[in-house]
Amino acid sequence: MADILSIEHLNVALKKSPSRLLVKNTSFKLASGKTTCIVGESGSGKSLTALTIMGLLSNQLIATGRVLFNGVDLTTLDNRGMQKIRGAQIGMIFQEPMTSLNPVLTIGFQIGEVLTAHQALKGNALKASVARLLTQVGIPETRNSSYPDELSGGQRQRVMVAMSIACEPALLIADEPTTALDVTVQAQILTLLDELKSRMNMAMLFITHDFGVVSDIADDVVVMFRGEIVEAGPKEQVLGNPQHPYTKALLDCVPDVAGKKELNPIDYAWLNHHELSNSGASS
Ligand SMILES: Nc1ncnc2c1ncn2[C@@H]1O[C@H](COP(=O)(O)OP(=O)(O)OP(=O)(O)O)[C@@H](O)[C@H]1O
Ligand SMILES: [Mg+2]
């Protein structure tokens, strides 16, 4: 199957200290209709990788390498070129729903804006699409005139989901989209995303800390540690037979529902020693 996304040797660094890489030599591919989950510790470069794909890196940062989307290197596009793709062909659910929504605009308006910008929808057709999207993410359509601060964290996250899928993108990037949700709403959103994936052959890049979600939805898993991919492959291989000590340590921290498993917090001193003696990699 053709890859819709291919990241090749991506490096991200601060402009003022380009030798200290925040994302190091990252490469992976994603095919249409497939889901890749990125897992890894806080600060390991997961969000920076996602933001680079969207062309939304802060201007204090610089990226090198290629981000091929349907064969086009997105890093070569100007802002106008990127705007046509962003929201229409690539949707993103951001990690921070409150800072990503405009506090002075109603949620109905913000969802509608995406449809007007990319599909020129107006009037009753626009209203009907916004109502359908709200219902799809489990928010009553009567809430379309609510402002973001009138909604709970989970509802705001669902508004983000509605905006990201409004144009039925070919690729959806989701940065911890279900972290703020209770398990029943989380299941509802995951089912919705899964349904979109099958119906539209959508590809999903899903960043999460939740191994329950990984085991539910992933085809492939990418494990990031200190800016680098330390392990990647099919879910069964990475979860069932992890090779890298960080992946093993990460899986050791996951509780089982019955609470029978002994939890082992990650021993960073040991990991540092192992890393340095094996690869010399450190940040
Ligand atoms: N605008 C920025 N300026 C400077 N450093 C940044 C900037 N954005 C991110 N970083 C740094 O880059 C590293 C990777 O950040 P990133 O947000 O990708 O982490 P993450 O893996 O998504 O973590 P989390 O699980 O906590 O969301 C971190 O050390 C972070 O402090
Ligand atoms: Mg992040």
Q: pLDDT: is 220 or 193 the higher one?
A: 220
- 64 is a domain residue: yes
Query: Does residue 283 form part of some domain?
Result: no
Ligand 1 in contact with 188 (CB < 6 A)?
A: no
Q: Whose CA is nearest to atom 30 of ligand 1?
A: 43
Phi, psi of 129 (to 5 degrees): -70, -40
State which residues form the domain around 76: 3-278
Q: What's the pLDDT band for 199 if we cut at 50, 70, 90?
A: confident
Q: Report the pLDDT value the prediction gives residue 281, as an integer from 0 to 100.
A: 43
In short, whether 20's Cβ falls inside 6 Å of ligand 1 is: no
Looking at the domain assignment, is residue 202 inside a domain?
Answer: yes
How far is 155 from 97, CA to CA, in rounded Å?
Answer: 9
**CATH number for position 267:** 3.40.50.300
| Domain presence at residue 227 | yes
- Summarised one tens digit per residue, pLDDT across range 260-273 is 667 677 777 777 77
CA–centroid distance, 221 to ligand 1, in Å, is 20
Q: How many Å lie between the centroid of ligand 1 and the Cα of residue 49?
A: 10
Question: Is pLDDT above 90 for 98?
Answer: no
The CB of 46 under 6 Å from ligand 1? The reply is: yes
Q: Is 61 in the pocket of ligand 1 (CB under 6 A)?
A: yes
Examine the pLDDT at 243 and tell me if it is beyond 50.
Answer: yes
The ligand with the least distance to the CA atom of 43 is 1
Q: Is residue 176 part of a domain?
A: yes
As a dihedral over the C-alpha atoms of residue 68, residue 69, residue 75, residue 81, rounded to 10 degrees, the angle is 150
What is the rounded average pLDDT of the residues 196-224? 91
What is the mean pLDDT of the segment spanning 228-251? 93
Joined together, the tokens standing for residue 5 give 């996304």
| Whether residue 53 has pLDDT greater than 50 | yes
Give the residue-averaged pLDDT of 102-112: 96
Domain count within the chain: 1
